[in-house]
Amino acid sequence: MFDKILIANRGEIACRVAATCRRLGIKTVAVYSDADAQAKHVAVCDEAVHIGGAAARDSYLRIDAVIDAARRTGAQAIHPGYGFLSENEAFAAACASAGLVFIGPPVEAIRAMGSKSAAKSLMEHANVPLVPGYHGAEQAPEFLQAQADEIGYPVLLKASAGGGGKGMRVVESAADFKAALASCQREAQSSFGDDRVLLEKYLTRPRHIEIQVFADTHGNCLYLFERDCSVQRRHQKVLEEAPAPGMTEQRRRAMGEAAVAAAQAVGYVGAGTVEFIANQDGSFYFMEMNTRLQVEHPVTEMITGLDLVEWQLRVAAGAPLPLRQEELRLHGHALEARVYAENPDNNFLPSTGTLKYLRTPAAVAFERGAQGSDPAPVRIDAGVREGDTISPFYDPMIAKLIVWGRDRAEALARMRQALAEYRVAGVATNIAFLDRLVASEPFATADLDTGLIERHHDTLFPAAEPVPAAALALATAALLEREQIRQRKQYLDSTDPHSPWHQHNGWRLNGHYERTLQFDQDDTRHDVMLAYLGDHSTLAVAGHTLPFAYRHEQGALQLTLGDTRTQGHVHIDGATYHVFYEGRHWTLQWHDPLAQQAGHEGGEGKLTAPMPGKVIAVLAEKGGKVTKGMPLIVMEAMKMEHTISAPADGEIDEVLYGVGEQVQEGAQLLSLKAAE
Say how far apart CA 231 and CA 338 lie, in whole Å.
11
Nearest 5°: phi and psi at 62?
-90, 100
Estimate to the nearest angstrom the gap between the alpha carbon of 346 and the chain centroid: 15
For helices 89-97 and 63-73, angle between their N-to-C axes, nearest 10 degrees:
30
User: Which residue is catalytic, options 62, 292, 314, 379?
Assistant: 292
CA 489 to CA 504: how far, in whole Å? 11
Q: What is the DSSP letter of 432?
A: H
Any residues with CB less than 8 A from the CB of 147 and at least 6 apart, and which? Answer: 134, 199
Type of residue at 278 = A
Q: What does the alpha-carbon distance between residue 416 and residue 407 come to, in Å, rounded to a whole number?
A: 15
Cβ distance 517 to 496 under 8 Å?
A: no
Cα 395 to Cα 456: distance, rounded to the nearest angstrom: 26
- The SS3 assignment for 498 reads coil
Q: Phi and psi at residue 624, in whole multiples of 5°?
A: -75, 140
**Residue 94, SS3 per DSSP:** helix
State the helix-helix crossing angle for 297-304 and 308-316, rounded to 10 degrees: 100
- How many Cβ atoms from other residues are within 10 Å of residue 569's Cβ? 18
Q: Is 292 a catalytic residue?
A: yes
DSSP 36: G
**Closest C-alpha to 473, from 545, 380, 405, 379:** 545
Contact indicator for 30, 48 with CB cutoff of 8 Å: yes
Taking Cα atoms as reference points, which of 523, 524, 567, 517 lies closest to residue 540? 517
CA 577 to chain centre: 25
Counts for the chain of helices (H) and strands (E), in that order:
17, 41
Q: Which residues are catalytic?
A: 292
